[in-house]
Structure 1
Amino acid sequence: MFIHNIDKNVSLKLIELNDAESIFELTDKSRNYLKEWLPWLDFTKNVEDTKEFIRGCLKGYAENKSLNTVILFNGEIVGVAGFNSVNWSNKTAYIGYWLGEEFQGKGIVTKVAKALTDYAFNHLNLNKVEIRAAVENKKSRSAPERLGFVNEATIRQVEWLYDHYVDHTVYGILASEWNELSVSNM
């Protein structure tokens, strides 16, 4: 089982089917908050929908195409994060994350994005990590900005959110840049 302790409060654990109830409860509790930026809330109506999502995550992990984890804060599931996909040909990982509403503003997502980026470069030997977020989603964009990711592009009308399209900002960082940032922060 994959468990990565980030600090004394925050860790990542490979998502499992027995996490479904907790993830669904968190999703349901934060539904109105999450719906502003996440397009899948209308398709997550019960625990079985969450189990189906987890099965897909586990299949991607078994096929070495993704790595999805639950975010634990003081031992409680507070969100989901990971590599939505890994492109081994181009040595690039694509990070995605969401956090329950009541756990916002504690620096959790920044710690998680940093840990996943470290893992991509130092354990998977990838060359690039990307994070994409809706242009207006300032909270989601703040993590890659704090971590020194480069704002590489804006992709227009790339995602349909219930009744409108949103543009995404693409952030990227290369292994060489990350290592340079890591050395300069010591």
Structure 2
Amino acid sequence: MFRHLIDKDVELRLLENNYAEEIFKSIDSCRNHLREWLPWVDATKTFEDTKNFIEMTKKQFAANDGFQAGIWYRGEFAGVIGYHGISWCNKSISIGYWLDKRYIGKGIMTKACRVFIDYAFNDLKLNRVEIRCAENNYKSRAIPERFGFTKEGLIRDAEWLYDHHVNHVVYGMLVNEWK
């Protein structure tokens, strides 16, 4: 079982089946909050849906196409961060993340993102890390901005969120820009 202790409060763990209940309870408890920015919330209606997601992430890991990790804060499940597949031919990757509303504003996701960015550049030897955020999701956008990612553009109507489209802001960081 993979575990990475970031500090005394924050830990990353590769998603495993035995975490399904904690993850599902988190999603279920803040469904409206997550639904504002994430298109998959309504498709995660049951504990079984969460187990299926975890199985998919295990296949992604086994295929060397990135991975998803749970974020624990002081021993409690707080969210998920992961890679949206690796483009080995382009040496690039995209990071996605979500946090239970109870843990927003504690610097948790910033710490987790730093680990994932470092890993992409230093361990996977990639050249580019990308983060896309909904244009009006300022809390999510604050993370790549905090790290000095370059705002590269806007993708109009990039994502369908239940009853409307949202634009995505694209942020990029190159290995030679990462400190």
Normalised by the length of structure 1, the TM-score is 0.94
Q: Residue 96 in 1 paired to residue 96 in 2?
A: yes
**What is the one-letter code of the residue matched to 1:110?**
T
**What is the one-letter code of the residue matched to 1:76?**
E
Matched position secondary structure for 2:158: strand
Matched position secondary structure for 1:172: strand
- The offset of 1:2, in angstroms, is 2.4
Identity %: 53
Matched position secondary structure for 1:52: helix
Report what 1:111 is aligned to: 111
Q: Residue 165 in 1 paired to residue 130 in 2?
A: no
Report what 2:140 is aligned to: 140
Matched position secondary structure for 1:81: strand
Give runs of aligned pairs for residues 1-186 of structure 1, distance below 5 A: 1-178=1-178, 182=179
Task: Give, in whole Å, the separation in 2 of the partners of 1:157 and 1:66.
Answer: 26
Once the two structures are superposed, what CA deviation does each residue of 1:33-66 show, in whole Å capped at 9, x if it has no partner? 1110001111111100001111111111100112
Once the two structures are superposed, what CA deviation does each residue of 1:98-157 show, in whole Å capped at 9, x if it has no partner? 000010000111111111001111111111100101000001100000011110111010
Task: Give, in whole Å, the separation in 2 of the partners of 1:87 and 1:77.
Answer: 29
| Matched pairs, number | 179
Structure 1 stretch displaced more, 67-76 or 19-28: 67-76
Runs of 5+ in structure 2 lacking a partner?
none
Q: Which runs of 4+ in 1 moved over 6 A?
A: none
Runs of 5+ in structure 1 lacking a partner?
none
Task: Give, in whole Å, the separation in 2 of the partners of 1:115 and 1:22.
Answer: 23
Matched position secondary structure for 2:56: helix
Task: Give, in whole Å, the separation in 2 of the partners of 1:111 and 1:87.
Answer: 24
Matched position secondary structure for 2:120: helix
Matched position secondary structure for 1:105: coil
Task: Give, in whole Å, the separation in 1 of the partners of 2:84 and 2:77.
Answer: 18
Matched position secondary structure for 1:109: helix
Matched position secondary structure for 2:105: coil
- The offset of 1:8, in angstroms, is 1.4
RMSD: 0.8
**What is the one-letter code of the residue matched to 1:34?**
L
**What is the one-letter code of the residue matched to 1:77?**
F
**What is the one-letter code of the residue matched to 1:98?**
W
Task: Give, in whole Å, the separation in 1 of the partners of 2:64 and 2:26.
Answer: 27
